[in-house]
């Protein structure tokens, strides 16, 4: 990350934005990685690693809301998020098939809601409602949002990319972050980097965000799934940590 930031300093904002977009296209590769592994589909009966891309993004069948059995949508949490984020500009980094976006926009309380996901086929299976974005590479050129949501995404991202993931979220959140990160021992589809609550808090503290206990408790009380009840936290940007919008 330090090497990347030093190198990035020699480029202007437009160049960096164009580079991030170009790298996203290359990494998506129209799902090439997933297509290549379809020929090895028989191996998935032994090991499910071929149902996801190396970044943690799910391949076409698993990311399709009409086919996937792995996605879980917490209706109660979504409704609570709409009220909690009322009037705010919101982004979701890892919105899957876009069910949270659909619900919050129908609810009509948030000012705006942009959805991104690392699944190579997300734009295809959601008819463009969810935009592709690989969270394992530094992302620049995006808007700065009031709040960024990242629900049950980080545990799917290999540990070697976790600091990039957190940095991507932090640089685009003006006010705060709603984060749910799978805990150790939590079962699930392709979990490769579960974290204890203490480790999650430490990572966010180092990124410049402080835990808001009361807001976290509010969302937990309005969540249905036991794993979200255990995992969800609300973090707010520390007053002394100034957001640099030209670094987004």
Report pLDDT for 36: 45
Report pLDDT for 119: 86
Report pLDDT for 64: 57
Instruction: Quote the number of domains for the chain.
Output: 1
Bridge partners of 232, per DSSP, are 180
Q: Are 137 and 113 in contact (CB under 8 A)?
A: no
Q: What CATH number should be reported for the domain holding residue 236?
A: 3.40.50.150
Report pLDDT for 172: 98
Cβ-Cβ contacts under 8 Å for 155 (sequence gap 6 or more): 181, 182, 186, 188, 191, 192, 193, 194, 195
Is the dihedral angle over the CA atoms 127, 129, 134, 139 positive or is it negative?
positive
**pLDDT of 33-52, one tens digit each?**
554 444 444 344 434 444 65
Report pLDDT for 124: 86
Domain of residue 233 covers: 1-248
Q: Are 225 and 74 in contact (CB under 8 A)?
A: yes
Is the dihedral angle over the CA atoms 126, 127, 129, 135 positive or is it negative?
positive
Q: SS3 breakdown of the chain: % helix, strand, coil, rounded to 5? A: 45, 15, 40
Report pLDDT for 45: 42
Residues of the chain with confidence (pLDDT) below 50: 1-4, 6-7, 26-27, 29-32, 35-50, 56, 60
């Amino acid at each position: 990350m330090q090497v990347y930031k030093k190198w990035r300093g020699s480029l202007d904002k437009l160049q960096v934005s164009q580079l991030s977009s170009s790298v996203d296209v290359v990494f998506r590769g129209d799902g090439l990685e997933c297509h290549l592994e379809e020929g090895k589909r028989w191996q998935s009966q032994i090991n499910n690693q071929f149902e996801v891309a190396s970044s943690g993004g799910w391949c076409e069948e698993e990311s399709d809301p009409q086919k996937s059995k792995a996605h879980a949508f917490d209706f109660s949490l979504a409704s609570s998020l709409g009220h909690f984020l009322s009037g705010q500009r919101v982004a979701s980094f890892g919105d899957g098939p876009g069910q949270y976006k659909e619900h919050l926009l129908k609810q009509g309380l948030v000012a705006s809601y942009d959805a991104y996901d690392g699944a190579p086929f997300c734009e295809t299976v959601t008819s463009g409602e969810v935009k592709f974005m690989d969270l394992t590479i530094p992302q620049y050129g995006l808007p700065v949002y009031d709040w960024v949501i990242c629900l049950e995404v980080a545990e799917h991202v290999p540990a070697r990319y976790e600091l990039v993931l957190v940095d991507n979220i932090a640089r685009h959140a003006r006010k705060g972050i709603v984060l749910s990160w799978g805990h150790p021992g939590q079962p699930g589809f392709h979990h490769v980097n579960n974290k204890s609550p203490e480790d999650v808090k430490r990572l966010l503290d180092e990124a410049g965000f402080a835990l808001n206990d009361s807001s976290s408790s509010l969302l937990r009380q309005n969540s249905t799934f036991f794993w979200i009840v255990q995992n969800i936290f609300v973090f707010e940007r520390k007053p002394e940590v100034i957001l640099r919008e030209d670094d987004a």
